[in-house]
């Protein structure tokens, strides 16, 4: 019924779950404090080397997250179109659409659809305010949009539930 859209959406979802778990790790204050205590005893300059690498790691994971979020969203929209186009009366349990040729945008108003769109908006806002030019001119926008990670994580938990 869904074709390759299902595989792409499931595969990108796995990458997104890992990315969402890893993106916060290098910026965790308690972890950095613990590492500072350990690394400063071994080699005083090693912690600052770690901080520079942690920022690079955070940015790499964040770029991966944005790219796969866009691919994931596109594949889900293709899935919504396929659900509507290939509606089957015999297998109503796996049909997401209510009838054949239902408007895919109405399917987007479901709980997974609304939470997915909200997470995509939050991710886009974070990505746009992370650009160097925006961050330097309006640091507050960068700061406040990055605090949307809390609602993002809550939406991430609720998103796959149906």
Q: Which residue has the tokens 């600052």?
A: 48
Q: What is the mean pLDDT of each run of 10 residues along the chain (162 residues)?
A: 80 93 82 76 74 84 95 89 77 71 79 92 95 93 93 93 80
Q: pTM for the full model?
A: 0.81
DSSP 57-120: HHHHHHHHHHHHHHHHHHHHHHHHHHHHHT--GGGTTT--SSSTT--HHHHTTSHHHHHHHHHH
Nearest to 6 by CA among 60, 68, 83, 69: 83
Q: What pLDDT shows up at residue 1?
A: 63
Neighbours of 80 (CB within 10 A): 23
d(CA 109, CA 105): 7
């Amino acid at each position: 019924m869904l074709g390759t859209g299902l595989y792409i959406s499931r595969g990108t979802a796995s990458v997104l779950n890992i990315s969402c778990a890893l993106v916060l790790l290098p910026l965790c204050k308690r972890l950095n404090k613990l590492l500072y205590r350990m690394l400063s005893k071994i080699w005083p300059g090693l912690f600052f080397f770690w901080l520079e690498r942690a920022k690079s790691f955070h940015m790499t994971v964040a770029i991966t997250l944005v790219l796969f979020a866009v691919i994931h969203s596109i594949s889900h929209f293709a899935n919504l179109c396929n659900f509507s186009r290939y509606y089957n009366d015999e297998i109503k349990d796996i049909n997401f659409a209510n009838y054949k040729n239902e408007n895919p945008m109405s399917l987007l108003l479901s709980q997974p659809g609304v939470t997915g769109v909200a997470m995509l908006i939050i991710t886009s806002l974070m990505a746009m305010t992370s650009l160097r030019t925006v961050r330097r001119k309006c640091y507050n926008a960068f700061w406040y949009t990055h605090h949307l990670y809390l609602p993002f994580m809550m939406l991430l938990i609720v998103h796959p539930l149906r």
